């Protein structure tokens, strides 16, 4: 039974609520396979998909992209994302045992999995806890290696003008779910990352080695410069710097790539349903390195201006938290708005605003669940700079991706960076 508070019992308001409910009930349900586009968005907005109006499933910026930059959203029936049972068990064990230690910039009581498996939206720390869940609880495996991915540089008028190819490996030192111990080493490190470019020739060997800490200490980052065969340590603010000549900051990798305490403030704006890609296509259906034409090589992308629209994946209904992240004063952005899955730590979209508060960049990441290894894998990532009509599109070769293979932390070091660059 629905009970209205006394303030809602006026005949007029009650009539409006009833009319609104009837409108949803009577709205036409669109079938899976429907493609939302600029040509039909006005007709579809009042119709429903899986019981939700299309209008309610579109964020302001998604609708703006559909209307103004050719974005299309093919719809698919929603399916539950399978989660690693080890991660589920470890996350459940954290309930009531973890707390944010702001002074030390860490979560006390955390071992592995999601540190805060139960989020109370009324909790003043709800938004911070969601971000710590993202930072510590991602389902990426204890070691994850992507031997091949590209970051396409895309001009909105002319198309793709660069296709650098790189290899990326991340090794977790804490929060481990395999091997018997959740911590490796003395506990000071969160993990290690190794990135180096394989092509084109003028970038081959260029790479970075990163040590991430489980404290307020900023990442230690070293870069290898093949031209001089030297390693250089980067500044502590490198996490806010651009990635090469791309549209991404280091902080934009997977939408949000900072330790939560580096941001001064978070606001939980609410919880809602949106359309997002959580069951992406994989392999050659994303990036076919043998392809000769645009359509063959980038089958998931649209071969017409602005060239960065991803049209080959289907969108499902996902429930998300909407979190506003306020940046430090020296950050290029004033804030990010993040759309984070409520069932597991996954960010589908990010909106970045400049220091004047103006909309600047839109970020979108697609993924699928690799049930065999228990990890969630990114297949496509886009960072679109609408102010300069340019984008960076990451396409991942999932056929060579490896998770939880036999490796040691000592395999990832400055020496490994130098060896990879030669």
Alpha helices (runs of H) in 265-313, residue ranges in sequence order: 294-297
Q: Are 248 and 383 in contact (CB under 8 A)?
A: yes
| Grouped pLDDT means (10 residues each) for the chain, 422 residues | 38 47 68 98 98 98 97 98 97 97 96 97 98 98 96 97 95 94 95 93 90 93 87 86 89 96 97 98 96 96 97 97 97 98 98 98 98 96 97 96 94 85 71
Q: What is the pLDDT of residue 261?
A: 96
Q: What is the pLDDT of residue 6?
A: 39
Q: How far is CA 405 from CA 142, 144, 231, 288, 345, in A?
A: 9, 8, 28, 25, 23
Q: What is the pLDDT of residue 180?
A: 85
CATH number attached to the domain at 135-421:
2.50.20.10
Residues of CATH 2.50.20.10 domain(s) within the chain? 135-421
Q: What residues contact 318, with CB distance under 8 A and at least 6 apart?
A: 78, 273, 274, 275, 276, 278, 341, 348
Q: What is the pTM of this model?
A: 0.92
Angle at 301 between CA 298 and CA 305, to 5 degrees: 120
Q: Are 109 and 96 in contact (CB under 8 A)?
A: no
Query: What tokens were used for 52?
Result: 């939700």
Query: What tokens were used for 111?
Result: 């071992």
Q: What is the pLDDT of residue 24?
A: 52
What residues does 374 pair with on adjacent strands? none
Main-chain dihedrals φ then ψ at residue 56, nearest 5 degrees: -75, -20
Q: What is the pLDDT of residue 7?
A: 41
Q: What is the pLDDT of residue 230?
A: 87
Q: What is the pLDDT of residue 27?
A: 77
CA distance 66 to 210: 38
């Amino acid at each position: 039974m629905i009970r209205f508070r006394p303030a809602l019992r006026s005949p007029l308001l009650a009539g409006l609520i009833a009319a609104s409910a009837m409108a949803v009930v009577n709205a036409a349900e669109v079938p899976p396979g429907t493609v939302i586009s600029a040509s039909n968005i006005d007709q579809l907005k009042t119709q429903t998909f899986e019981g939700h109006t299309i209008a309610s499933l579109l964020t302001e910026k998604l609708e703006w992209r559909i209307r103004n930059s050719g974005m299309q959203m093919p719809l698919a029936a929603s399916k539950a994302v399978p989660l690693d049972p080890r991660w589920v068990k470890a996350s459940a064990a954290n309930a009531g045992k973890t707390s944010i230690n702001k002074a030390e910039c860490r979560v006390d009581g955390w071992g592995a999995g999601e540190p805060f498996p139960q989020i109370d939206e009324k909790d003043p720390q709800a938004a911070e806890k969601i971000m710590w869940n993202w930072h510590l609880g991602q389902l990426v495996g204890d070691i994850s290696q992507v031997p091949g991915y590209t970051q396409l540089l895309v001009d909105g008028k002319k198309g793709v003008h660069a296709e650098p190819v790189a290899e990326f490996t991340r090794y977790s030192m804490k929060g481990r779910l395999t091997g018997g111990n959740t911590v490796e080493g003395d506990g000071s490190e969160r993990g290690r990352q190794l990135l180096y470019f394989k092509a084109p020739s003028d970038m081959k060997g260029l790479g970075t080695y990163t040590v991430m800490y489980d404290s307020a200490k900023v990442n230690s980052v070293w870069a290898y410069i093949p031209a001089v065969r030297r390693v250089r340590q980067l500044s502590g603010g490198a996490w806010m710097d651009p990635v090469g000549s791309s549209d991404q900051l280091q902080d934009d990798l997977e939408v949000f790539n900072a330790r939560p305490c580096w941001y001064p403030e978070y606001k939980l704006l609410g919880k809602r349903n949106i359309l997002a890609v959580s069951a992406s296509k994989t392999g050659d259906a994303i990036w076919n390195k043998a392809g000769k034409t645009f359509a063959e090589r980038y089958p998931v992308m649209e071969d017409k201006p602005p060239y960065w629209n991803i049209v080959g994946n289907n969108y499902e209904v996902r429930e998300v938290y909407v979190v506003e992240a306020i940046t430090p004063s020296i950050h290029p952005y004033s804030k990010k708005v993040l759309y984070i899955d409520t069932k597991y730590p996954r960010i589908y979209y990010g909106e970045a605003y400049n220091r004047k508060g103006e909309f600047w960049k839109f970020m979108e990441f697609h993924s699928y669940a690799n049930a065999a290894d228990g990890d969630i894998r990114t297949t496509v990532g886009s960072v679109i700079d609408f102010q300069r009509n340019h984008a960076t599109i990451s396409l991942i070769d999932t056929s060579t991706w490896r998770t939880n293979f036999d490796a040691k932390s000592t395999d990832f070091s400055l020496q490994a960076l130098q060896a990879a660059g030669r």
